[in-house]
Structure 1
């Protein structure tokens, strides 16, 4: 996982979680989705070109496209006001792929921490499938809160640790990460049950609705 790209994935996940919670308009979130999506497509392409046929390097870069295509898709859909079902069904494919990358992290890369993180991402993409592909609106707030909560510990924090040379994967750290993510999932479930806070709606938005 390229750590520079991962840093900005944390930003776009945070924004998209807030979008699902109704805090950020979809069109306003589109630009960052396009920027990060483009970065997550350009970066693995460069890495694959420079790999010189090294299959491990190519495999490591290949997962970045899952993020790149997702965010480009979201950005374009938000700007063009497309139906979200396509993103949802694409997310089902990505969720399955994320489970495979999790297994590779555990047994091929010997990095149990990212094995746990890939599973967390698989859960998020599975929820995107349920909300956007199957229309399970009752899960929207839970998905929004979980996306907000997962954005930093699965992306920003490990990215900064890796960029500063402080990332040391171990079984103990993997269990700690799993416990933290499980706790955040519980908090997201509790918050999702609360009624959304009433907010004033700008006149332009109300007219558009």
Structure 2
């Protein structure tokens, strides 16, 4: 309990907001190594859902650190707090009836499971972007692997920093050999099969 703090009960509930939007709110949690394609894939899914008329919102790891989490560094403790805060924000977005996409390395299983634990059953969908390390190093879109291999960055996930591979993710996707749109279709089809979004046909996207 927090002293002198009391929960306010709102008249409009999550179920009502979800019914208004004709969808089941959830969190699509994209986890994987730097360079695996998390943000690109999450963006493709977000665009796909938008074009289908769904209500979604995307939170990206770097973008969040410019605002909400700008006081956090990259220590294990700060990484854990980073994910905790995102989990709480995600819970609010789900309560608003949104399909929430989160693209974060989130290297520790306990932190990802903590986010799962604050949501209702079935609302947390772990998407393991399982692109191999060598492919990620070759892509190196931000030049971070190059810096880490030179010793300019320490505790870099996948090299000298730990990445705990998801044991039972709801979805596993390797982005090598497929376009972002093709990978996005797999995730959208998962949502359709779970009846979380209506079957509104396919969309054409120039990706």
State the TM-score, normalized to the length of structure 1.
0.29
Higher relative contact order (CA 8 A, sep 6+): 2
**Relative to total residues, which structure has the larger helix share, 1 or 2?**
1
State the TM-score, normalized to the length of structure 2.
0.29
